[in-house]
Amino acid sequence: MLDSFQSGDFLSVLKSYGVYGIVGAIVVGILVPILFKGSKRGKQRGVPVNVGGEAGYAVRNARVTELIDVPWKGATTMAALFELSCKKHSRNRFLGTRKLIEKEFVTASDGRKYEKLHLGDYEWQTYGEVFNRASNFASGLVKLGHDVDTRAAIFSETRAEWLIAFQGCFRQNITVVTVYASLGEDALIHSLNETSATTLICDSKQLKKLAAISTSLKTIQNVICFEDDESSKDTGLSESLSNLTVASFSEVERLGKTSPVPANLPSKNGIAVIMYTSGSTGLPKGVMVTHGNIVATAAAVMTVIPGIDSKDVYLAYLPLAHVFELAAESVMLTAGCRIGYSSPLTFTDTSNKIKKGTKGDASVLKPTLMAAVPAILDRVRDGVLKKVEDTGGLVKTLFDVGYKRRLAAVEGSWFGAWGLEKMLWDFVVFKKIRALLGGHIRFMLCGGAPLSGNSQHFINICMGAPIGQGYGLTETFAGAAFSEADDTMVGRVGPPLPCCYIKLVSWEEGGYLTSDKPMPRGEIVVGGHSVTAGYFNNQEKTNEVYKVDEMGMRWFYSGDIGRFHPDGCLEIIDRKKDIVKLQHGEYISLGKVESALMSSNYVDNVMLHADPFHSYCVALVVPVHQALEKWAKEAGIEFQDLSDLCEKAEAVNEVQQSLSKVGKASKLDKFELPSKIKLLAEPWTPESGLVTAALKIKREQIKAKFKTELTKFFGLILSSWLVGWMILVSMVDVSELSATSRSVPVRKRSSVALT
């Protein structure tokens, strides 16, 4: 994903328009402020509401008085929604996939072979055709011998057949288990075993992985495999899966077509999906999502994408096993849009798998809507900035001026955000950047993690499209809060979606209270139609974080800390479980510090580590290769390769100084800055299991992998007397905890404990 955005030769165009641009901009820049005024300040987006359950500060969307639960009458389940939408749009194009023209392998200078694809146009299936395929698949599944009272699992990368199989299962009231394609083997075995899934639907890449673990898959009887373009069936593979029936997806469709089985549609409260979330600790948890949850989120998100209709084209490339993508595609289905399938490796003209000189998916599809996670948008920003910086000269000057002017405008200076000047800058500077994503993006959905203000502005300006930042969890089927298209303030996730209420509940221990000024703060609790049924096979954990109030409304306790702005928009400010108390009693919020440190140019990824046994924190840092190597060359430091460089004291020192600098700029306290760091040459990827599919770091896994490094940091070998002493100290602290809030000077207290 990294490289795919780093190109685009908009620079030559910049140069040719440059001179007119500067003159024009100056003239327009003077005129426009006089001609255009107006701003959207003061709009009330969320309003306080009285609700049941635990006391707190609750807010609802300002546009609805009653929560909405369906996109339209009758669409109470995913199966009904699918059928109605397919009837309504039956002749419209729905799912598109690019045809493979040619595949070749090139050998890079390091001797590794890379697959390069030459892909053709998108080939489309209409809503009507997709409906027939899903119905056939449903019948075929039954004919194949799938027992409809058991579950089917989908384990595949994002593609059209994923959605068809998903809808097919619902037509026979079969619950679908979803598993991330990048999840480890143990997690896969665990989720299939725990849900006793009997049919596994996968792509050929995942099928290859199955051979190694097939003996551990006790419950699976049938395997259905999506075909690839080249469709070479691996015979050796089927042998190693000898106890299982392996059928191709099209065989199952044919089977169903020749002997149809009447549909058996699910009900609103039936479990549609058991979605395994990678979670940041231990084995994944299966979240039970009802049909009602999905249609409620889809109905709610429909209302926040301005003018969404069947003319819209959506580029799909995030994992469908992630709630954010599944929710987004459900919205597209509801609105009758087209969905064109893509992947992170074929996304743009310069993506890794795209053959040189041929077009990437975005250029061919020209999407109007897309979804992204912050990590991707951060990389788009870094890629474009690097390109501009490397080119320098007039291009850089123009970009800088243009960006500053636009930034002032979107930040809501008094001369309004839209107008002639915008058109001019768009034409001169930003048009070519937009071409990277096909040039037609009109709205972006962003979710999965908080997006930095910088990136939000950057994408906003460079792509010329508003970003709707969503907040939601698998447990709320992605539906909780969503920022509105005309809201240009950064760092917030908007008001509650119209399908749910959001309540802040005071967290005394952490020092976040709903009585706080100037804004109420507390743990974010979501209640309403998008709140899921709980964790599969884990009543204890379910009871811990889900509660039903006296009026029958389900609430989910997110563990995230937020505050409500006066206009009813939510801002995520912290996370409960990421807060660690240091030895001297200071609280440190790992997530908050990490996101501050991420703004250093040297940091590709970072994990902060702290424990109650030390007074300082440490960090594992994956550096940005180019930045660090560039610095080393300039500083005259000799090194063989990146791993070598990462070991050099000078490099560590340089990165650490940069961390201190950005830390201070973000007003971090001294104890929040890592006092020791370790540079790691290998990037953290979902495949390595160190980050989730949404690229959030997995603390436990990283800690386990770099255990030696982390122990070295702390130097001491914990002799038994020391451990005993620490337990004593922490016991004293815990007993005082409830009486003490975060803001009380803690040093005093801890010095008592320590002396």
Cβ atoms of 48 and 444 within 8 Å: the answer is: no
In angstroms, what is the minimal distance from the CB of 246 to ligand NAG?
A: 13
From residue 241 to residue 260, the character string flagging contacts with ligand NAG as x (rule: CB under 6 A) and all else as - is --x-----------------
In angstroms, what is the minimal distance from the CB of 215 to ligand NAG?
A: 5
Rule CB under 6 A: is residue 191 a binding residue for ligand NAG?
A: no
The C-alpha atoms of residue 40 and residue 63 are separated, in whole angstroms, by: 16
Rule CB under 6 A: is residue 190 a binding residue for ligand NAG?
A: yes
Cβ atoms of 594 and 607 within 8 Å: the answer is: yes
Q: What is the DSSP letter of 671?
A: G
Q: Which is nearer to ligand NAG, 190 or 422 (CB)?
A: 190
Rule CB under 6 A: is residue 175 a binding residue for ligand NAG?
A: yes
Q: Which is nearer to ligand NAG, 244 or 519 (CB)?
A: 244
Q: What is the DSSP letter of 366?
A: -
Rule CB under 6 A: is residue 267 a binding residue for ligand NAG?
A: yes
In the region spanning residues 690 to 719, those forming contacts with ligand NAG, defined by CB under 6 A, are none
In the region spanning residues 144 to 173, those forming contacts with ligand NAG, defined by CB under 6 A, are 173
Question: 444 forms bridges with which residues in the sheet?
Answer: 370, 467
The C-alpha atoms of residue 399 and residue 416 are separated, in whole angstroms, by: 20
Q: Burial of 635 by CB count in 10 Å (0-12 exposed, 13-18 middle, 19+ buried)?
A: exposed
Q: Over 271-301, what HEC string results? A: EEEEEEECCCCCCCEEEEEEHHHHHHHHHHH
* Count of alpha carbons within 13 angstroms of residue 225, beta-carbon side: 23
Q: Which is nearer to ligand NAG, 213 or 744 (CB)?
A: 213
From the list 93-101, 177-185, 262-270, 309-317, the region that binds ligand NAG by CB under 6 A is 262-270
Rule CB under 6 A: is residue 269 a binding residue for ligand NAG?
A: no
In angstroms, what is the minimal distance from the CB of 333 to ligand NAG?
A: 21
The C-alpha atoms of residue 102 and residue 591 are separated, in whole angstroms, by: 45
From the list 124-132, 185-193, 366-374, 722-730, the region that binds ligand NAG by CB under 6 A is 185-193
Interface with ligand NAG (CB under 6 A), residue from 221, 264, 626, 741: 264
Q: Which is nearer to ligand NAG, 176 or 201 (CB)?
A: 176
Neighbouring CB atoms inside 10 A of 5's CB total 24
Peptide bond into 518 cis (omega under 30): yes
- Number of residues forming the site for ligand NAG (CB under 6 A): 12
Cβ atoms of 217 and 203 within 8 Å: the answer is: no
Interface with ligand NAG (CB under 6 A), residue from 266, 448, 498, 522: 266
From the list 82-90, 188-196, 221-229, 715-723, the region that binds ligand NAG by CB under 6 A is 188-196
3-state SS of the chain: helix, strand, coil percent to 5? 40, 20, 40
Cβ atoms of 601 and 654 within 8 Å: the answer is: no
In angstroms, what is the minimal distance from the CB of 154 to ligand NAG?
A: 17
In angstroms, what is the minimal distance from the CB of 216 to ligand NAG?
A: 5
Q: Which is nearer to ligand NAG, 198 or 469 (CB)?
A: 198
Q: Which is nearer to ligand NAG, 189 or 580 (CB)?
A: 189
Q: Which is nearer to ligand NAG, 291 or 457 (CB)?
A: 291
From residue 408 to residue 447, the character string flagging contacts with ligand NAG as x (rule: CB under 6 A) and all else as - is ----------------------------------------
Rule CB under 6 A: is residue 52 a binding residue for ligand NAG?
A: no
Neighbouring CB atoms inside 10 A of 737's CB total 14
The C-alpha atoms of residue 343 and residue 351 are separated, in whole angstroms, by: 10
Q: Which is nearer to ligand NAG, 267 or 711 (CB)?
A: 267
The C-alpha atoms of residue 212 and residue 188 are separated, in whole angstroms, by: 12
Rule CB under 6 A: is residue 184 a binding residue for ligand NAG?
A: no
In angstroms, what is the minimal distance from the CB of 538 to ligand NAG?
A: 13
Cβ atoms of 466 and 460 within 8 Å: the answer is: yes
Interface with ligand NAG (CB under 6 A), residue from 18, 260, 270, 511: 270
In angstroms, what is the minimal distance from the CB of 648 to ligand NAG?
A: 45
Rule CB under 6 A: is residue 189 a binding residue for ligand NAG?
A: yes
Q: Burial of 23 by CB count in 10 Å (0-12 exposed, 13-18 middle, 19+ buried)?
A: exposed
CA dist 273 → 95, 288, 289, 533, 644 (Å): 21, 6, 5, 11, 47
The tokens describing 47, both together, are 């309003």
In angstroms, what is the minimal distance from the CB of 326 to ligand NAG?
A: 19
CA angle, 207 then 535 then 141, to 5°? 40
What separation, in Å, do the N-terminal and C-terminal C-alpha atoms of the chain show? 52
Rule CB under 6 A: is residue 193 a binding residue for ligand NAG?
A: yes
From the list 223-231, 265-273, 368-376, 468-476, the region that binds ligand NAG by CB under 6 A is 265-273
- Tally of helices (H runs) and strands (E runs) in the chain: 25, 27
From the list 84-92, 189-197, 423-431, 669-677, the region that binds ligand NAG by CB under 6 A is 189-197
3-state DSSP call for residue 349?
A: coil
Interface with ligand NAG (CB under 6 A), residue from 7, 92, 126, 216: 216
The position carrying tokens 């499209």 is 465
In the region spanning residues 317 to 356, those forming contacts with ligand NAG, defined by CB under 6 A, are none
The position carrying tokens 């059209």 is 160
The C-alpha atoms of residue 755 and residue 751 are separated, in whole angstroms, by: 6
The tokens describing 188, both together, are 């896969």
In angstroms, what is the minimal distance from the CB of 320 to ligand NAG?
A: 22
The tokens describing 411, both together, are 């930040």
Q: What is the DSSP letter of 100?
A: E
Question: 93 forms bridges with which residues in the sheet?
Answer: 126
Q: What is the DSSP letter of 474?
A: G
Rule CB under 6 A: is residue 609 a binding residue for ligand NAG?
A: no
In the region spanning residues 475 to 514, those forming contacts with ligand NAG, defined by CB under 6 A, are none
Q: Which is nearer to ligand NAG, 110 or 149 (CB)?
A: 149
Cβ atoms of 191 and 166 within 8 Å: the answer is: no
In angstroms, what is the minimal distance from the CB of 188 to ligand NAG?
A: 10
In angstroms, what is the minimal distance from the CB of 244 to ligand NAG?
A: 8
Describe the crossing of helices 204-213 and 185-194 by its angle, rounded to 10 degrees: 80
Rule CB under 6 A: is residue 221 a binding residue for ligand NAG?
A: no
From the list 264-272, 474-482, 549-557, 597-605, the region that binds ligand NAG by CB under 6 A is 264-272
Q: Which is nearer to ligand NAG, 181 or 210 (CB)?
A: 210
* Residues at the interface with ligand NAG (CB under 6 A): 173, 175, 189-190, 193, 215-216, 243, 264, 266-267, 270
